[in-house]
Structure 1
């Protein structure tokens, strides 16, 4: 069962290496049980390697935890990066929404990892969220410089709000489903959320035209 769970990690080109198996094992442990459960021995047992090999590749437990955090940030960066310079700002946002949604649907452990890192209040989680806000701020600064987004009164504060809005369906799914009487497993309900988010940001940040939320 553990090995099957590890296979739910996001796939990247290096995922057949021993180092990647160790990282995937740590990712699964953190997602399911938190950072405290991801001891060197537990990681090694899950990856089916020796503890000494874990230390050889990463130096310490913290080294593995940091590698997982960087890896997840890179994966999210890949799926939320603008890939079509011709797309309008609202359409580009909708596409980022879709790619993030698909990734968290296809890789359930990713959502679990995000909830652990962002809701447990650990030092690792605090630092991970700060890095997420850094990335959001950089993207917003770029869009403002290009004239795509309206200038913000406080760019970093706005960037943090954008990050929270993007993570909301993962972090607050049961609360949103209860309050809105919807089911995020249902494509029509997910489309409603995407359309409302895109419309909100189009009015607030991206005034150069909105788009209707088309079927995925």
Structure 2
């Protein structure tokens, strides 16, 4: 998994604009992000932003799609055998690493989910769509028990995964954690894994992933 949201092949003006807008939304929120601010951060003219994306909303929509697909691509479990509980552990480790290696990702998700803007509502719906798709895929593969309400459970899984990002200070205070410390992440991950294993994969082994 790349530690950056852009790679060497993604150094075009359009990619720089997208990356600049992503950073600004993470730092300031959608409402306070402007075309002029995006252009200044990307080192281009406002006219070029409009040329590539049509409007500020066009940039915001492009980022939303980009980030949802990025999350899905980096947490999806490949089609392979093995114990479902171990597969869950691998997903949790990848997710944790992804959040740590791209700090603005957590800030972006916080802004989108907690600012109360229509863009955030739409972004969450799209994230739940992909989460439900992935959960349905695991059910078809026999890696998860059938859900009675697939979308509701998919939404719960998404929220639980992002709990340290959204509620970090509260969790640290209530549980005596420090998410800057690997041991705290391990404690949270193990508890999450135990909870989800018993709910999604009853009877599965709980051996830690390699």
Both proteins in one fold, TM over 0.5: yes
Are residue 32 (structure 1) and residue 22 (structure 2) matched? no
SS at match of 2:82: coil
- Decide which of 108, 126, 130 is 2:125's aligned counterpart: 130
Contact 2:6 2:19 in 1 (8 A): no
Alpha-carbon separation, structure 2, partners of 1:89 and 1:43: 43
How far has the Cα of 1:139 moved from its partner?
Answer: 1.1
Alpha-carbon separation, structure 2, partners of 1:12 and 1:79: 15
How far has the Cα of 1:98 moved from its partner?
Answer: 1.3
Q: What TM-score, normalized to structure 2? A: 0.93
SS at match of 2:31: helix
Are residue 49 (structure 1) and residue 44 (structure 2) matched? yes
* Alignment of structure 1 residues 12-27 onto 2, 5 Å: 12=7, 14-27=9-22
Q: From the superposition, tell whether residues 133 and 13 of structure 1 become closer, same or farther in structure 2 (CA, over 3 Å).
A: farther
Q: From the superposition, tell whether residues 110 and 164 of structure 1 become closer, same or farther in structure 2 (CA, over 3 Å).
A: same
Contact 1:9 1:110 in 2 (8 A): no
SS at match of 2:138: helix
Alpha-carbon separation, structure 1, partners of 2:39 and 2:83: 46
Q: From the superposition, tell whether residues 131 and 153 of structure 1 become closer, same or farther in structure 2 (CA, over 3 Å).
A: same
Q: From the superposition, tell whether residues 127 and 162 of structure 1 become closer, same or farther in structure 2 (CA, over 3 Å).
A: same
Contact 1:9 1:27 in 2 (8 A): no
- Decide which of 144, 158, 163 is 1:149's aligned counterpart: 144
- Decide which of 153, 157, 167 is 1:162's aligned counterpart: 157
1:18-60 CA-to-partner distances (Å, cap 9, x unmatched) read 1000001100100000001221111101111001100110000
Alpha-carbon separation, structure 1, partners of 2:95 and 2:117: 24
- Decide which of 62, 65, 68 is 1:70's aligned counterpart: 65
Alpha-carbon separation, structure 1, partners of 2:82 and 2:110: 31
Deviates more, 1:172-181 or 1:144-153: 144-153
How far has the Cα of 1:14 moved from its partner?
Answer: 4.1
Runs of 4+ in 1 over 3 A off after TM superposition: 212-215
1:58-102 CA-to-partner distances (Å, cap 9, x unmatched) read 000000000111111121112101136123221112111111211
Q: What TM-score, normalized to structure 1? A: 0.91
Are residue 100 (structure 1) and residue 126 (structure 2) matched? no
Match of 1:172 in 2: 167
1:129-183 CA-to-partner distances (Å, cap 9, x unmatched) read 0011111111111122222211112111111111111111111111111110011
